[in-house]
Amino acid sequence: MKVTKRTFDAVIVGAGGAGLRAALQLSESGLKTAVITKVFPTRSHTVAAQGGVAASLGNSEEDHWHWHMYDTVKGSDWLGDQDAIEFMCRKANEVVIELEHYGMPFDRTDAGKIYQRPFGGHMSNFGEKPVRRSCAAADRTGHAMLHALYQRNVRANTQFFVEWMALDLIRDAEGEVLGVTALEMETGEMVAFQAKATIFATGGAGRIYYSSTNAFINTGDGLGMAARAGIPLEDMEFWQFHPTGVAGAGVLITEGVRGEGGILRNDKGERFMERYAPNAKDLASRDVVSRAMVTEINEGRGCGPNKDFVLLDITHLDPQVIMQRLPGIREISIQFAGTDPIKEPIPVVPTCHYQMGGIPTNYGGQVVAPRASSMNVAVPGFYAAGECACASVHGANRLGTNSLLDLLVFGKSAGETAVEDVKKSTRAHKDLPQEAIERSLERVSRLDTQKDGADVHEARLAMQRTMQNHCGVFRFADKLKEGVANILAVQQDVQRTGIKDKSKVFNTARVEALELDNLIEVAVATMISAEARKESRGAHVRDDAPDTAEKPNGRDDQNWLKHTLWFKEGNRLDYKSVKLTPLTVPTIELKKRAY
Amino acid sequence: MTTRTMQFKIYRYDPDRDDKPYMQDISVEVDSTDRKLLDALVKLKAKDDTIAFRRSCREGVCGSDAVNINGRNGLACLTDLKDLPEPVTLRPLPGLPVIRDLIVDMTQFFKQYHSIKPYLINNDPPPETERLQSPEERDELNGVYECILCACCSTSCPSFWWNPDKFVGPAGLLQAYRFIADTRDQATSERLDNLEDPYRLFRCHTIMNCVDVCPKGLNPTRAIGKIKDMMVKRAI
């Protein structure tokens, strides 16, 4: 196959919220930019975000970025980097107001300002009581945001390569990133995109689990590409299980439902969160609520014939409020649970939702990796933002509405840093190393020639079941150990997948096989990182690290207050320290996390 | 768990392999947890990986999986399996060139969407805070901004079939109205000028197929009517 080369100042992979926000920075700066995306931009998974984006605007009651910062550090179970968290919380108002100026149709208060609702873990005055911080467009905030960002890019004349799948990162012997290879789905043609700046905004990989709120396209492509190019993945053991996925279907029901007054109930109709989080109750942090729900179910207080879900009840709310603030939820509930939430509660279970870890970056969006004696050296030419990146602002558990904020803040900062770096650079483009291009060609041609290959669908199911059974809401030492062996066995199959479809034209079987190459890297990284972390923290809770007086919640700061780095080569693990020093304010000191 | 066999007739065409399109008869086992047409399509693909279709969010917000189902446009992920008469006939959205199987070339559709300048135009220097908008003013955007660009409406519209290059189509016009209706936008008269033409707006003959098929329950015809009213008002 012939590989053509196309040359740009910058290339962005992914056109969800982070990619589109970065693209604006680059397009408006006049740099020649290509945005490569597997799907038309408004089909990206940001579209499915519901409840809102956090910013301490204080439109309905007093709020402060410092309180938001405190909540985020606490939510992260102190694993988040406090410099990046301060940066994000301080930037929140600016990026949300910008978005409003772009045309985002936020709901409004009577004073005409952006409407804000309470959300899990967001409190006033350093953890005192819930505060209205989530800026919302009904329960379709992600849709409204993604379309507003796309529309602004139409205005900026951004150049998109739609339905192109990025295959591999092009990195030379010095470790510099020089672009990506990509496949045009419609023609099957492969192109090497040469660029001085490569920004990954490829989103998450929730499809490693069997039951997930994530779209089919969330296959961790950026993580797979980074891992194959020798970049480590950070904190991959931390996956958020959203408390309220529709039982059986996995479709997301926003926490905004509880923000508007929704209550979780067990089979006795009891508001059980009062026992687990006496202060925040149903608005405790997501990991806390998910564990409470699974505990209720495990102890026999689940609902339904198999007692395998709990109920999310909003029947006590004014139907007008539901129609006005939660219309999309009502639609989803009728469609996927067969119940109208105005009349009946919605059956829900914790469902894999968000990847806290990812490609390690600093708060400027530069990808960082260990080099010589330093753990955080910028990889020249490489940037990442959004769910695929780990800045790390979410640490061991993300607060609701901080993901949309993350993609705005770090999409913008990655864009800004890339613009600065490209403009500073006086050098011509470096030559592309042929080996990097060969590697992509080999991956594609293997699929054309593989004899007696493993079935893609079956191999993916095996991976998803392994992750679901061995690395879920609660984790067990023996299960994790077994999980490592099982997932490595699945990896063997993935290396020899075969497809029947050999067409060049829109070959979706080939796309799914290439996606599985990326998913499996994420799954292996997750299982190995989780098995190794011998403590409980945030979303990672193990049976052999229980709540004790010396180690509240099973957290072991003495040994485990550190970020995991997983390297593909040899499945090696390394660790780096958490940045406990913020930019300007004092450190938020370690303490027991309770809501 | 109860399973049953469902019969499908699927439009197949791969320009790399087929001289011309054909209908494939194929069946698949579905079980009681398969609620939606997309669940069946995913199972069909596991059986025959050469069947090509688009899909992503599987909850009706991304707009990827619009297809023609038993003669009517809809989203596979929002179509209940239990209500579908068999064999379930699946074709690509009508009126757009087929790339392969159920995948159409949407270039013309997006070109029309882009032609209405789908972005807020406000040339005042941005204030430090949000631009104010009352809840009532914001309510004008309800039923308009929720469009997911799935193209079910435009590809069920005879006027769009005849003139996809000249008639903006219901999806594009709904979005034209979305910006006209936004109190923060200052380009109403420019937007009306942009549509003042025998084709761009006035090819809508209120057939209302768009309203009938919209999977989000939106009403492009009403929005088009409002634009027409504004045209008339400014002419007199």
Give the residue-averaged pLDDT of B130-138: 98
User: What average pLDDT does chain A have?
Assistant: 97
For the whole model, what pTM was predicted? 0.97
Give residue B135's Cα distance to chain centre.
28
Known catalytic membership, residue A286: yes
Q: What proportion of chain B, given as a percentage, has pLDDT over 90?
A: 97
Of the residues A258, A265, A286, A537, only one is catalytic, namely A286
Interface check A334 vs B, CB under 8 A:
no
Q: Are A213 and A353 in contact (CB under 8 A)?
A: yes
Buried b (16+ CB within 10 A) or exposed e, B74-103: bbbbbbebeebeebbbbbbbbbbebbbbbb
- Scan residues 99-138 of B and list those with Cβ closer than 8 Å to A: 99-101, 103, 106, 110, 114, 117-120, 122, 126, 128-135, 137-138
Confidence bin at A1 (pLDDT 50/70/90) = confident
- Are A154 and B33 inside 8 Å of each other by CB? no
Q: Residue B62 and residue A335: Cβ atoms within 8 Å? A: no
CA separation for the pair A318, A262 (Å, rounded): 11
Q: Do A509 and B50 touch (CB under 8 A)?
A: yes
Q: Give per-residue pLDDT as tens, A307-346.
A: 999 999 999 999 999 999 999 999 999 999 999 999 999 9
- As a whole number, mean pLDDT of residues B3-19 equals 96
- Say if B62 is an interface residue toward chain A (CB within 8 Å): yes
Please determine, for residue B157, whether its predicted confidence score (pLDDT) is greater than 80.
Answer: yes
Average pLDDT over residues A340-366: 97
Decide if A500 and B49 are in contact by the 8 Å CB cutoff: yes
Closest CB to B135: pick one of A108, A252, A457.
A108
A113/B contact by beta carbon, under 8 A: yes
Contact A135, A54 (CB under 8 A): yes
A45 vs B100: CB contact, 8 Å cut-off?
A: no
CB atoms within 10 A of CB A496: 13
8 Å CB contact of B130 and A114: yes
Strand partners, A511: none
pLDDT level of residue A197 (50, 70, 90 thresholds): very high
In the beta sheet, which residues pair with residue A116? A135
Min Cα separation B107/chain A (Å): 11
A44 shares contact with chain B (CB less than 8 Å): yes
Residue A130 CA to its chain's centroid (Å): 24
- Poorest-pLDDT segment among A143-147, A468-472, B232-236: B232-236
pLDDT for B125? 95
Q: How large is the average pLDDT for residues A146-158?
A: 97
Tell me the mean pLDDT in the region A112-120.
Answer: 97
Cβ contact A22:A411 at 8 Å: yes
Sorting pLDDT into bands at 50, 70 and 90, what band is A363? very high
Chain B interface, best mutation among A102, A116, A147, by max B CB count within 10 A:
A147
Alpha-carbon distance A32 to A9, whole Å? 5
Q: What's the pLDDT tens digit per position in A18-41?
A: 999 999 999 999 999 999 999 999
Q: How far apart are CA B180 and CA A434, in angstroms?
A: 52
Q: Mean pLDDT, to the nearest integer, of A176-185?
A: 98
- The pLDDT value recorded for residue B2 is 84
- Whole-number Å distance between alpha carbons of A135 and A123: 15
Would you say A333 and A341 are in contact if contact means Cβ atoms under 8 Å apart? yes
Per-window interface: B 157-196 vs A, CB < 8 A: 179, 182, 184-185
ipTM above 0.85, yes or no: yes
Separation in Å, CA B58 to CA A113, A516, B93 = 33, 19, 18
Q: Can you say whether the dihedral through the CA atoms of A489, A492, A493, A495 is positive or negative?
A: positive
Residues with Cβ < 8 Å from A34, sequence gap 6 or more?
Answer: A6, A8, A10, A11, A12, A159, A161, A193, A195
% of chain A at pLDDT higher than 70: 100
What local confidence, expressed as pLDDT, does residue A61 receive? 97
pLDDT band at B236 (very low <50, low <70, confident <90, very high): confident
Contacts of A504 in chain B (CB under 8 A): 16
